[in-house]
Amino acid sequence: MSRPKRNEQIAADLHGAIDALVEEGKEITFANVAKRSGRARGLISGRAARYEDVRVRIQLLTKPKHAEAAPPPDVRGSRDRSLIRELTAENEALRRENQRLAAIAKGLRNGIVARAAATAQADLGTSESQMADLERRRAARAARRASTASAEPIK
């Protein structure tokens, strides 16, 4: 028997097994169809290209809720793309909101640090000259970091 005819025979056996299980009211699973048809379970659950009609039929019978909810195959791709666009737009909006909140938090932290520094200066009685000296050191440190960061990497 040629391969195409054998494949048709296998598919016919599987459809017959599905019909028998439906008539008996038994659960339609790959394992039950394999037992009923006398075929290997891997033959049914694998090789989707050859037995796609059997696979789809089993899935439709086992999951009717999903089968009813699913749109026809030609519409599904465009629906998926529109869902992806919608989720991408929502993700972008959330990212912008997150950046805005991070900027607010940074401003609050900077304000708190500035107030704490002013309070510490008042508490310690640090003179203006000492604070100016600290600011110069901080600026020099930042300048050194900036110059080393922009330097050409060593090869």
What local confidence, expressed as pLDDT, does residue 67 receive? Answer: 46
Per-residue pLDDT of 49-84, as tens digits, reads 445 556 566 665 555 444 455 555 555 566 677 788
| DSSP secondary structure letters along 33-102 | HHHHHT--HHHHHS-TTTSHHHHHHHHHHH-HHHHHHSPPHHHHHHHHHHHHHHHHHHHHHHHHHHHHHH
Per-residue pLDDT of 41-51, as tens digits, reads 555 555 444 45
Domains of the chain by residue range: 3-69, 73-150
Any residues with CB less than 8 A from the CB of 7 and at least 6 apart, and which? 50, 51
Per-residue pLDDT of 102-126, as tens digits, reads 887 887 777 777 777 777 766 666 6
pTM score > 0.85 for this model?
no
